[in-house]
């Protein structure tokens, strides 16, 4: 017989208290993809080595990404008195001093510290809550990121995890649960920004006894890593959101769709599923409610288009990831021919807090019809790069200069690339646009999956456009003739422009090809494929003129020998 949720919660709280204020220090090390890329594995190995050498006992946990990716590897030490200090970026050579001084002698190394949380602080070290990347945040989906061990379900439960699911299954009907999602104003965070409650209602109306909840973590956009960040940092918040979606819609099985090769998200999600099944939080008759739900991980190959919802279903079924004709829509005929619902990781990760705190609470965050927060991935020419969760309604200017610290080395910001390669570019003159789905669309941009790449004055807008189209051309699945050949033709013309060998009709030809792609493609990859070019022409038309008429690049980045015809693929 499975344990009651009250017993699980009590035991988890006791263990959490022992970790945060127990008899031995607790050392947390950021080991998400960003941490590992920066050398976290070596740092963890050396921490264990130093603890053994000094015969000191401590708990060492691998956690996810706090969001300060620029400061990885991040080492977070909580002492037995509750003081918590962060070091980063930590190099292997700094580990012996940190462990000996801070853990063995209880004398923190102030000149290596990044910040502190709680306690009395430390002279010369800032409160981490006042760090530019942290002070503007309102963390909902990322509330546990960097704070808990993602492979320990007890730590999730001790911090309110699965409370929302228990509340819904024990005291709310599926209709009441759906109403909270509707009241919240939550909209899809995968790019389309469609109202989540409305989307769920389509599936809920189906009387088919077999339905599926699908979660899309293909996430192939350059500059976007927040879906993977959630799965590596707090996979249980996704699982809880998926089970709630199943309860609302009457579905009993879910798939988490992750790009093959993203080992951290894959491993941690599978481990979270295993632990939830072990405690009876996944499986049959959850919490004695009579409701059953199971989840498994399904892997995709390296295919950007498999993030499109119908191509995703094709991939799960074992076919090549190509979009389907619609109608019928997934809520009618989806995975294995059964009614299905597809949501992004971020969208589902919000749901537990919405059910726990109420839809009205979530609806008070943000502005206009854009409710809640945006989880942004900040990369490029910025002082602080990483992952942040801020209220919708903030301006791009606030994001770039208050959150990300502006452009380093005294350079000026030139452009932003938002919403993935199909989202196009914005000029530095458009920074007063709010993070608002409608306002960004009116400006010719999309928030998309939350990736924002900043480029300084040394960046060539034409060259960056070429790089975006090269990505889109390479990732075209090839099913639709206008997209397959259109992307190739546009890339060929852009490479000619970068070689200063353009022809007078190239711009008009690109526009015609773009129109054909929009009209004749099944999915957004082809329909939006001309966006990078159209937005670049709108904001940086002068640079195209210099390349095509004056035969020069104002930044000096474009050189004839860099762009040979052989670089075009397919």
**Domains of the chain, residue spans:** 16-132, 161-362, 372-420+427-454, 461-567
Per residue in 127-172, pLDDT (tens digit) is: 999 999 999 999 999 999 999 999 999 999 999 999 999 999 999 9
CATH number of 372-420+427-454: 3.10.20.600
Listed in sequence order, the residues at least 6 apart from 320 whose beta carbon sits closer than 8 Å to its beta carbon are: 314, 477
- Paired tokens of 109: 């190394």
Strands 425-427 and 386-391: unpaired
Listed in sequence order, the residues at least 6 apart from 318 whose beta carbon sits closer than 8 Å to its beta carbon are: none
Per residue in 275-332, pLDDT (tens digit) is: 999 999 999 999 999 999 999 999 987 788 888 999 999 999 999 999 999 899 999 9
Mean pLDDT of the chain: 94
Q: What strands lie across the sheet with 340-344, from one edge to the other? A: 294-300, 253-259, 212-217, 340-344
Supply angle C-alpha 301, 453, 418, rounded to 5: 80
**Backbone φ and ψ of 58, nearest 5°:** -155, 155
CATH architecture for the domain at 161-362: 3-Layer(aba) Sandwich (3.40)
CA dihedral 480, 226, 148, 11 (to 10 degrees): -50
**Whether domain 461-567 has CATH 1.20.1250.20:** no
Peptide bond into 73 cis (omega under 30): yes
From 10, 6, 13, 87, select the one nearest 47 (Cα to Cα).
87
8-state DSSP, 100: I
Burial 76-103 (b: 16+ CB within 10 A, else e): bbbbeeebbbbbbbbeeebbeebbbebb
How high is the pLDDT of residue 2? 62
Strands 413-418 and 451-456: antiparallel
The Cα–Cα gap between 495 and 468 comes to 12
Residue 70, number of CB atoms within 10 A of its CB: 20
The Cα–Cα gap between 392 and 134 comes to 16
pTM, whole model, 2 decimals?
A: 0.94
Listed in sequence order, the residues at least 6 apart from 347 whose beta carbon sits closer than 8 Å to its beta carbon are: 186, 187, 188, 189, 190, 196, 241
The Cα–Cα gap between 372 and 98 comes to 39
| CATH homologous superfamily of 16-132 | Glutaredoxin (3.40.30.10)
How high is the pLDDT of residue 568? 45
From 149, 177, 154, select the one nearest 164 (Cα to Cα).
177
> Low-confidence residues of the chain, pLDDT below 50?
1, 567-570
Question: What DSSP string describes 152-173?
Answer: -HHHHHHTTTTHHHHHHHHH--
Listed in sequence order, the residues at least 6 apart from 306 whose beta carbon sits closer than 8 Å to its beta carbon are: 218, 220, 257, 259, 300, 312, 314, 315, 321
The Cα–Cα gap between 551 and 390 comes to 43
């Amino acid at each position: 017989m499975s344990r009651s949720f009250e017993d699980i919660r009590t035991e988890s709280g006791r263990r959490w208290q022992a970790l945060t204020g127990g008899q031995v220090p607790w050392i947390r090390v950021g080991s998400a993809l960003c941490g590992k890329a920066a050398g976290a594995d070596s740092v963890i190995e050396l921490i264990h080595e130093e603890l053994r050498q000094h015969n000191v006992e401590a708990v060492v946990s691998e956690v996810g990404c706090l969001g300060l990716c620029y400061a990885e590897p991040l080492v977070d030490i909580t002492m037995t008195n509750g003081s918590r200090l962060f070091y980063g970026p930590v190099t292997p050579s700094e580990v012996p001093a940190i462990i000996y001084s801070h853990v063995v002698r209880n004398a923190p190394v102030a000149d290596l510290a990044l910040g502190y949380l709680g306690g009395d602080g430390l002279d010369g070290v800032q409160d981490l809550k006042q760090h530019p990347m942290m002070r503007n945040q309102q963390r909902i989906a990322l509330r546990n990121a960097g704070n808990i061990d993602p492979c320990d379900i007890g730590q999730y439960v001790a911090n309110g995890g699965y409370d929302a699911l228990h509340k819904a299954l024990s005291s709310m009907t599926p209709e009441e649960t759906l109403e909270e999602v509707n009241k919240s104003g939550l909209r899809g965070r995968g790019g389309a920004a469609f109202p989540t409650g409305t989307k769920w209602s389509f599936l809920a109306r189906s009387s088919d006894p077999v339905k599926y909840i699908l979660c899309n973590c293909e996430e192939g956009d350059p500059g976007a890593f927040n879906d993977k960040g959630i799965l590596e940092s707090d996979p249980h918040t996704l699982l809880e959101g998926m089970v709630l979606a199943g309860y609302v819609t009457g579905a009993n099985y879910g798939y988490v769709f992750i790009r093959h090769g993203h080992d951290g998200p894959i491993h941690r999600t599978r481990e979270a599923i295993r632990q939830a099944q072990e405690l009876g939080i996944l499986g049959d008759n959850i919490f004695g409610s009579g409701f059953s739900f199971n989840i498994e991980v399904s892997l995709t190959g390296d295919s950007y288009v498999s993030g499109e919802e119908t191509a995703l279903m094709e991939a799960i079924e074992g076919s090549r990831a190509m979009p389907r004709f619609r109608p019928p829509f997934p809520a009618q005929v989806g995975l294995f021919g059964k009614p299905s619902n597809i949501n992004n990781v971020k969208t589902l990760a919000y749901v537990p807090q919405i059910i726990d705190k109420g839809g009205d609470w979530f609806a008070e965050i943000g502005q206009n019809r854009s409710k809640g927060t945006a989880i942004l991935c900040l990369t490029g020419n910025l002082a602080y790069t990483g992952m942040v969760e801020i209220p919708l309604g903030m301006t791009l200017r606030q994001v770039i200069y208050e959150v990300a610290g502006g452009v380093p080395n005294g350079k000026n910001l030139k452009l932003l690339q938002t919403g993935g390669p199909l989202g196009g570019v914005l000029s530095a003159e458009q920074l007063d646009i709010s993070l608002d789905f409608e306002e960004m669309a009116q400006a010719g941009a999309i928030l998309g999956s939350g990736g924002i790449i900043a480029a300084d004055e040394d960046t060539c807008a034409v060259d960056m456009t070429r790089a975006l189209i090269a990505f889109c051309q390479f990732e075209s699945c090839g099913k639709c003739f206008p997209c397959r050949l259109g992307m190739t033709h546009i890339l060929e013309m852009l490479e000619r422009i970068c070689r200063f060998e353009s022809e007078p009709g190239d711009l008009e030809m690109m526009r015609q090809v773009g129109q054909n792609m929009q009209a004749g493609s099944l999915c957004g990859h082809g329909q939006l494929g001309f966006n990078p070019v159209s937005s670049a022409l709108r904001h940086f038309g002068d640079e195209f003129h210099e390349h095509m008429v004056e035969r020069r690049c104002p930044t000096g980045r474009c050189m004839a020998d860099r762009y040979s015809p052989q670089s075009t693929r397919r």
